[in-house]
Amino acid sequence: MSTKIRIGIIGCGAIAERLHAPEYANSPDADLVAFCDVVKSKAESIASKFAPGAHVFTDYMQLLKNADVQGVSVCLPNYLHGPVSINSLKAGCNVLVEKPMATSMAESRRMLEAARKAGKLLAVNQSQRLFPAHAKAREVMASGIMGKVLHVSAMFGHAGPEYWSPSGKWFFDKKKARFGAMADLGVHKADLVRYLTCKEVGSISAFFERLEKKSASVEDNFVAALKFTDGTVGTLAASWTVKGAEANYTILYCTNGTLSICAFPGRPLVAHLIHPECEINFDVPPPPENDDNGWGLDIGGRFCRAIKGEEEPYCSGEEGMKSLEVILAAEKAALSGRTVRIKH
């Protein structure tokens, strides 16, 4: 029987309760032993649901000192991702941090340096890499059947975080979130297009605006034009004002046809090929649901196995930093009204 990794969760909001905690609880590789939140009742509630008897803390440094954890999930507002991850790494703990991994490139580099010095794993929960349709799309692209990618279109939008996490007021506070829709949702797609195409963004132009969330100090809509280092072009958009039906699609236009991912209801992955002329509907499991059973992505098990060296992390700190860089460049482009180049 494989050794279980002792896990703590720092921050007990919606993403911890709906994804991290249940997926650790469901994993034979994880032993969920500690929870921390400044609101003690939130930590107690999630502990009672997923790991009765686990230690509860209101100070994460006390968790790191007294809970004997080997790994932590950092599920806090964006401005705390960097400092809490760095302190956890310095304490000798492996870290899985929520996206975006940091609020600046300098902070992300300090996180990577802390991991290197500690000899510990720093991973980023860019969870869309693991969605069934995306995992299968990665296989399809790697097979070469689609040919070379020429153009990319990606969009992620819903009505806003207040509907998904009613207590998450920090999403709308620039001091705590740093960004709005472009980091909450856009960083998912920035990471996904890099992952699916194996290309890096070379330059970016962008616009963002606050159209409906008037009490917020961050943007609720964002759109960018991308040019990859090999000349491939594309668009990336994120929105907190999409109503009626969420938008969460990626389309890859290639030399041999088009691969549509989550673009058609009931058909999560469709390839339209020209040679031979045909349509292929790939059989993939349904997308994850937001419920108390997790999303079926095994993020907890994957993190624990990566700690044990049994597999590679699904998104390393280095990868998370590259996707963050796209969002930061987009912000600079939107504020300056100029195209921003990304140096690799």
Could you report the per-residue pLDDT of 198-240, keeping only the tens digit for each?
999 999 999 999 999 999 999 999 999 999 999 999 999 999 9
Helix 317-336 to helix 186-197 angle (10° resolution) is 120
**What is the predicted pLDDT for the residue at 167?**
80
Q: Is the pLDDT of residue 1 over 50?
A: no
**What is the predicted pLDDT for the residue at 291?**
61
pLDDT digits (tens, 9 = 90+) for 173-196: 999 999 999 999 999 999 999 999
**What is the predicted pLDDT for the residue at 106?**
98
Higher-confidence residue of 292 and 302: namely 302
pLDDT digits (tens, 9 = 90+) for 151-172: 999 999 999 999 888 888 999 9
What superfamily would CATH give domain 5-127+296-313? NAD(P)-binding Rossmann-like Domain (3.40.50.720)
Indicate where the chain has its CATH 3.30.360.10 domain(s): 148-254+323-341
**What is the predicted pLDDT for the residue at 289?**
67
The DSSP bridge partners found for residue 74 are: 10, 97
Higher-confidence residue of 116 and 275: namely 116
| CATH annotation of 148-254+323-341 | 3.30.360.10
Higher-confidence residue of 129 and 245: namely 129
pLDDT digits (tens, 9 = 90+) for 238-293: 999 999 989 999 999 999 999 999 999 999 999 999 989 999 999 998 766 656 67
Q: Is the pLDDT of residue 76 over 70?
A: yes
0.75 exceeded by the pTM?
A: yes
**What is the predicted pLDDT for the residue at 298?**
95
**What is the predicted pLDDT for the residue at 177?**
95
Indicate where the chain has its CATH 3.40.50.720 domain(s): 5-127+296-313
- Mean pLDDT in the chain? 95
Q: Compute the average pLDDT of residues 136-148.
A: 97
